Structure 1
């Protein structure tokens, strides 16, 4: 948001960019990016960072905030951006930092089902597809590799991501190392 600087003792001579941002943030809190995907959860939107003003004794002429939006394959990013621009009005200028597509492979794909079979001995319950709402480098790599089937597969617990006490058990790391080796060999044989 852009405002107009003025002395803090004369705020009526300025336009407070932080107030403009506060109004926009209220609108963002209730903005719906789009309909949920049949397999994925509802798209999410989160304001993760904000900064504004130069000092305490002047009216701030600029405020910047960053919004993280997680979408699904059924949503068009250009439409979301246009709808958000319309909802926020002309007091907010939007610029895109990163715009990457959601990643989704067919669960029935031969390679994907093979990976499930390899993973099954490591789990007490049947392995089934799950959708996770976090970023993966696959959104960059898959188009460059011709869009092969993709599985996000690691030894950690998704609920631990970005937690203060995040950890991964060493036994799980060793199991993952063995599993990855088997999958690499299988991929070479199946090609």
Structure 2
């Protein structure tokens, strides 16, 4: 890789980042396919084979892309095109207009994760004039911020379109450190159905809000049990699986017993523990609570419904020495181990590919007002991807897949949407 090539890649990445940030691809928007259109146009100009995957939810689309030899193998890059809202945040300028100052690029998604996507587009442009001995691949997803819904919907089309790779790099912001693990997460909506009446008679009526409060108690009890029972997992700020209640709503007036209440909660689980046991304990506790209330109040119309609204698997990739050295030669800063935030990497690992997370920027900047990525981080990412293109021109990555053990969440289950489970 020459200095001139690196400079060209940096300029191209900034040009693409400006265009990507200008697209307000907020995951709650009714339609943000224009950002997919932009990426597809850029990639088709390079000669890459683009497979557009339209979502069943209107206004969303992703891409599977391959350049070079057809079929399995090579290296896959992966990123998401959606961002979180800016409503109510005190931005110093327009969040959808890239601003350069003090060695930083400011804009919504600059760190999470349009900076990496911009570098990936520049890498494909650089590879267009190169004869690749192994394919360069790219996955661009949607609705990651909604709970990785997009990648779950896209995955059945990956193997038939571009095939698996020998290595997948998910470019979430890690300051270019190599990350090999994170927890999985399942989110739930719990709808409690009780009975209404005057609050003066509250002891005789099944309060939906009281049932929801009891479910919070079940969450806390299971958390206490997990904290003492699970073996601490190194690398995590909280080294065990966690349960959390985030939203509780119900009731109309203080002097009325609420007939309806809704609780939103989550489980973040260690990959080695899996989801099944913790979820089973939660559902068992909720079912027993509903039975007790029906018995205590002698009413069959009391009920609790649980809907799993989203899920993504955890990641636990065991790097071989050969793969670690290969990634460090490309430009990975160091092996950081695990992170506490979630990504789409667990889904990709479940397909049988070794997956690492490595991208420009700091996760602390993600979702914040005045979100930014340091320009030197973009430069390091561009240089890494330039070296990757050079390595693919020389031949397939020199690390046999058998030397790597990808371990996603047990069970290999995909939940592309909400599903009632109790």
Please state which band the TM-score falls in when normalised by the shorter chain: 0.7 to 0.9
1:84-103 matches, within 5 Å, as 84-88=282-286, 89-91=288-290, 92-103=304-315
Structure 1 window deviating more from structure 2 (55-64 vs 14-23): it is 55-64
1:141 to 345, 348, 362: 348
Cα offsets for 1:90-128 (capped at 9, x unmatched)? 3354332223321111122533431133335xx5xxx12
1:98-113 matches, within 5 Å, as 98-108=310-320, 110-113=322-325
Cα offsets for 1:130-156 (capped at 9, x unmatched)? 20122211222333xx42111111112
3-state SS of 1:31 partner: helix
What are structure 1's unaligned runs of at least 5 residues? none
State how far apart, in whole Å, the 1-side matches of 2:306 and 2:259 are.
Answer: 16
3-state SS of 1:84 partner: helix
C-alpha deviation, 1:69, in angstroms:
1.5
Query: Structure 1-normalised TM-score?
Result: 0.77
Structure 1 window deviating more from structure 2 (161-170 vs 14-23): it is 161-170
What are structure 2's unaligned runs of at least 5 residues? 1-191, 291-303, 398-422
State how far apart, in whole Å, the 2-side matches of 1:86 and 1:45 are.
Answer: 15
In 2, are the aligned partners of 1:7 and 1:58 still within 8 Å (CA)? Answer: yes
In 2, are the aligned partners of 1:70 and 1:133 still within 8 Å (CA)? Answer: no
In 2, are the aligned partners of 1:49 and 1:65 still within 8 Å (CA)? Answer: yes
State how far apart, in whole Å, the 2-side matches of 1:100 and 1:11 are.
Answer: 40
State how far apart, in whole Å, the 2-side matches of 1:153 and 1:102 are.
Answer: 16
Q: Which has the higher contact order (CA 8 A, sep 6+)?
A: 2
Q: Name the count of aligned residue pairs.
A: 183
In 1, are the aligned partners of 2:269 and 2:314 still within 8 Å (CA)? Answer: yes
2:143 match:
none
C-alpha deviation, 1:165, in angstroms:
5.2
Structure in which a larger fraction of residues adopt strand: 2
Query: Structure 2-normalised TM-score?
Result: 0.38
1:168 match:
373
How large is the Cα RMSD of the aligned pairs? 2.8
In 2, are the aligned partners of 1:45 and 1:67 still within 8 Å (CA)? Answer: yes
C-alpha deviation, 1:38, in angstroms:
4.2
Change (3 A) 1:135 1:7: same
C-alpha deviation, 1:182, in angstroms:
2.5
